[in-house]
Structure 1
């Protein structure tokens, strides 16, 4: 105080303003009482502010032994840091003391103390904590040191979740980071992350009928998040959009890298809010990769992520396409790796082997087919996006294409103006041989499908029926099975629309007409070829000189008469006369030549 007055160099100074003292007027009042010898009660509520104020006022041991800095440090070290709740309360009070509390290591020491206690064996915990069993009151809980707790009074492994969730996000991250260093199980780290999100992120707690940021025009999402409400409505903290963005970015950074540390549903809901609040693209990409690792655990409701960009579609189809690509990359990486990580023992109750790639792909294929059925109703969805998403998975991922057929039919119903060529291109993503009998029956009567697809469906079903009849004939009772199969085939053929039957008959008639025209053209081509050869011979006869030797002219006449004999045979059609002439002419020339 003396230095402040001296440095002001104001003779008429009657007031000293201390507007930057940490802890505010309450901390300064306690420090002043301490200077005048008035008893000051040190508590977890005022110790952090008083410690920072003592540092600001330079109340060190150089002036007097047992000064305020020494006393507050002793209270922090021996009282606060040994208590669970005091450490939480002091760390909470440090939120308004930055950067003093950080520079004085109060935040670090409290975080370390909380981390050590959180990692303690639950069987040895005797201190009070929020969320303890309701049957045990606080006084009796502290008296249970010598009594062994019964089964219904055992401390749960998540006993510390609620207490650390009251901290601000930066202090929460510090505590979780310290807990990770102590070796806490990644399942609990992921669980406390989800607990914190449910408490602080508004969208994770209740459905919303208005955008999160009322002043922002970019957020147009309405509702869709369902999680268990923690506490009462009065306990729900109000967080602005900017703070929620910081919370989401921090939570993404502390999620454990293990595959099943958090649920896929949580990741997708976090991704939904990250897109709405314009989180950093690098963190969004990292979150998409995490979702791709567990995409087989997602549900259809989780994939209903609204499009927050300038896209005209209601749902973000491009995002789902990227998630599917990350999933395929992850599956390919795991399949090439000798030691693969299964997604959890809790998912292996069905007795399937760990890391069964086809099963994961089949689950994702069913999910994608259901998603395509939902988004196909959007008239702004382009056929290219639909086709790319449908063809992203390999053919082995689908043993039955009923879901894909349902999506295609829904798209054709919502887009009736597309051309016939586009309909054929869209139907190429479906394998008619993988349709069930019910789907074939529906497709045979579906006038939205192209004629060629209907014919393929009927043909594939006929092949299936023929194979079934052939297999059943090798067994006993084959005749009865044959009788059961025939009505199905008749019903299938009779169920074909009349318009398709007429179209098929017209197509067969056109094919026969084309065949007849092709034969006519072929005959005309042969006739023209003969005429050209006759003209060529006449031209050669006129062009050749007449002065030739007897030997040469004899050979030319022989060749000419031989060819003319063959032509006369083809033109006249008299086989007997031509045969006699053919026999006589060579003999006459042979005599003359010899």
Structure 2
């Protein structure tokens, strides 16, 4: 007897799921089992033995020959007239299916259910129980039960598809998998408003709801909760991965929303890939966020459906071998919808982590990396900390993050070149600035903060080379960072973990940072950081002085505009009082350092002047010593003349600035003649 969900099948040669065939049947009371052997309860001795694995069936030839074409060929085409034994180890469905087929041949009532119909249908095809031998043979009756009963029921379709896992390739060739998949897809894509059954809170004894039971209930019984769009997740997740792929593919063809398909994929991965996440609660919350776009309850609240018919419940983690997990990951990658937000970036990164660990096909890994690059701004730091499974020196896979960042930049460049995404170009520092949403960081800024945090974390690894650090830090354009504090923290962390760096290497490391983009607190920390090169410290001090001077000047101008009679000293005092204590202390220390540098500079200038005077004195003494003892009158007169000319010019400029130049010119030759005479 089939369960209460199945349709009534009266008038189809079987009543209430009991399949009988009394024509030409041997009178028997049924089968009885003794150990691994089955015997027919009849007075007629058996003359034929069918061996299937460890089970043996002691039967009669005539009932089998009358309904099985294969038995006809095996017996009559054999040259052995006394053939009384046959091996059927390759019979689909095994001993269970053959037992039902043998009972049908003997006219014994057979209970058709969703759990045995697929095996019996394949066994009937294997035994060639066609209409050519007898009207209403087993193939016809099992096919009718599949078409009219199973495919009209949600629960039976799931069960039959689940039972087909052990019937390949027979179930594929007989289109059982395809028909069940399309039936499930059609029901999953139906309007949830038309579903009128209670799907949660039912005890195990209550059967699953009837798909075709759409009768309008009385007002007292119509008080039910709204059906969430993810009601079908748990039932579909019990399927094997290849059948799950068939169902999801059929659902895509029906036009279901891509975010709902992505949520179903996450739910399936949560169940069959226990190593995907550390705690199951996180993925449940993630799946519910992805699927409950209409504010409905999450899939974790689903209690009905197939929980009463499967062995593994939601709280039981199935055991999956590494080979099977690799197949699951490869299959899930191939069916993820191509839309950007169909699944979360966190799920993609966790899937990528397992793909690298299980050595999934490189082409699928590359495809997954591109998918991560499409929504890289949604990633979090814990998801990026992927261990290096390729036996590299570093603890974390830095090359993988570099690859993901490259895919992100390529995607951003493509979007920037598109006329519809001009707002994401590098010249726009923030999204939506034209609409007034100033302060909302764009994708590149989010990624820049994420990369800075990642660099800070991986910089503690002493095996991380300076080149990898520098390449990853410089991968983003300058416009992606409005503040380099995160980059400074990463550089400082790298310097702590690598104390043996040379001066040249430290300068090279600090080139990735722009001192003008550091905040006041970062500048104060950098000014006292002994690990930084001296030149970088000077640049930081200069940048800090410029920022503080600009801030004080702007504030002074603002206060002067508000109150023109307020003195500058009070404005400066108000500015200092309004700044944090750490800012004031840092400014005092910076100002002290600047005054010290100025004093040292003045000292150097004074010493330079003293040295210049000493040099002039030595030059004059040298000239006197080099003067000849006896010089001619003309030479001495000429030197006196030049000396007197200089003195006269100076005296004239100082004492008589108003005397015309012509008079001075007349007096000069008179002195010249006097000196000559």
TM-score with structure 1 setting the length: 0.76
Q: How does 1:43-58 map to 2 (within 5 A)?
A: 43-58=113-128
Q: 2:350 matched to which residue of 1?
A: 269
Deviation at 1:312, TM superposition (A): 1.0
For 1:128-154, what per-residue CA distance to the aligned partner results, in whole angstroms no more than 9, with x for missing partners? Answer: 7xxx22268846966884236767611
Q: Which of 251, 256, 263 in structure 2 is aligned with 1:184?
A: 256
- Native 8 Å contact 1:91 1:110 kept in 2: yes
Q: How does 1:43-192 map to 2 (within 5 A)?
A: 43-126=113-196, 132-134=199-201, 138=206, 145-147=215-217, 153-192=225-264
Deviation at 1:479, TM superposition (A): 3.9
For 1:17-39, what per-residue CA distance to the aligned partner results, in whole angstroms no more than 9, with x for missing partners? Answer: 10000000111111111111111
Q: Which of 330, 341, 365 in structure 2 is aligned with 1:249?
A: 330
Q: How does 1:264-413 map to 2 (within 5 A)?
A: 264-340=345-421, 359-413=442-496
Deviation at 1:437, TM superposition (A): 0.9
Q: 1:195 matched to which residue of 2?
A: 267
For 1:440-488, what per-residue CA distance to the aligned partner results, in whole angstroms no more than 9, with x for missing partners? Answer: 1111111011111110010001111222232223222554342356698
Q: 2:586 matched to which residue of 1?
A: 492
Structure 1 residues 482, 494: CA separation in 2 closer, same or farther (over 3 Å shift)?
closer
Structure 1 residues 446, 206: CA separation in 2 closer, same or farther (over 3 Å shift)?
closer
Matched, 1:482 2:572: yes
Distance 1:418 1:54 in 2: 78
Distance 1:295 1:194 in 2: 18
Structure 1 residues 281, 462: CA separation in 2 closer, same or farther (over 3 Å shift)?
same
Secondary structure at the counterpart of residue 16 of structure 1: strand
TM-score with structure 2 setting the length: 0.68
Q: 2:88 matched to which residue of 1?
A: 18
When structure 1 is superposed on structure 2, of 134-143 and 56-65 the one drifting more is 134-143
Size of the aligned set, in residue pairs, is 509
Secondary structure at the counterpart of residue 85 of structure 2: coil
Q: 1:587 matched to which residue of 2?
A: none
Return the structure number with greater helix share: 1
Structure 1 residues 339, 516: CA separation in 2 closer, same or farther (over 3 Å shift)?
farther
Structure 1 residues 485, 498: CA separation in 2 closer, same or farther (over 3 Å shift)?
closer
Secondary structure at the counterpart of residue 88 of structure 2: coil
- Native 8 Å contact 2:369 2:404 kept in 1: yes
Matched, 1:440 2:440: no
- Native 8 Å contact 2:119 2:167 kept in 1: yes
Distance 1:574 1:354 in 2: 83
- Native 8 Å contact 1:21 1:53 kept in 2: yes
Structure 1 residues 139, 175: CA separation in 2 closer, same or farther (over 3 Å shift)?
closer
Deviation at 1:227, TM superposition (A): 2.8
Q: 1:227 matched to which residue of 2?
A: 283
Deviation at 1:331, TM superposition (A): 1.1
Distance 1:157 1:270 in 2: 24
Distance 1:278 1:498 in 2: 60
Secondary structure at the counterpart of residue 184 of structure 1: coil
CA-based RMSD:
4.0
Structure 1 residues 237, 497: CA separation in 2 closer, same or farther (over 3 Å shift)?
farther
- Native 8 Å contact 1:225 1:269 kept in 2: no
Distance 2:156 2:230 in 1: 19
- Native 8 Å contact 1:255 1:261 kept in 2: yes
Q: 2:499 matched to which residue of 1?
A: 416
- Native 8 Å contact 1:307 1:316 kept in 2: yes
Structure 1 residues 17, 85: CA separation in 2 closer, same or farther (over 3 Å shift)?
same
Distance 1:427 1:501 in 2: 26
Gaps of at least 5 residues in structure 2 are 1-70, 286-299, 301-311, 425-430, 561-567, 612-634, 647-677
Distance 2:342 2:438 in 1: 17
- Native 8 Å contact 1:445 1:495 kept in 2: no
Deviation at 1:226, TM superposition (A): 4.8
* Bigger relative contact order (CA 8 A; separation at least 6): 2
Distance 2:141 2:544 in 1: 89
- Native 8 Å contact 2:516 2:540 kept in 1: yes
Distance 1:22 1:397 in 2: 62
Distance 1:273 1:292 in 2: 17
Structure 1 residues 576, 505: CA separation in 2 closer, same or farther (over 3 Å shift)?
closer
Deviation at 1:15, TM superposition (A): 2.0
Distance 1:44 1:78 in 2: 12
Structure 1 residues 325, 515: CA separation in 2 closer, same or farther (over 3 Å shift)?
farther
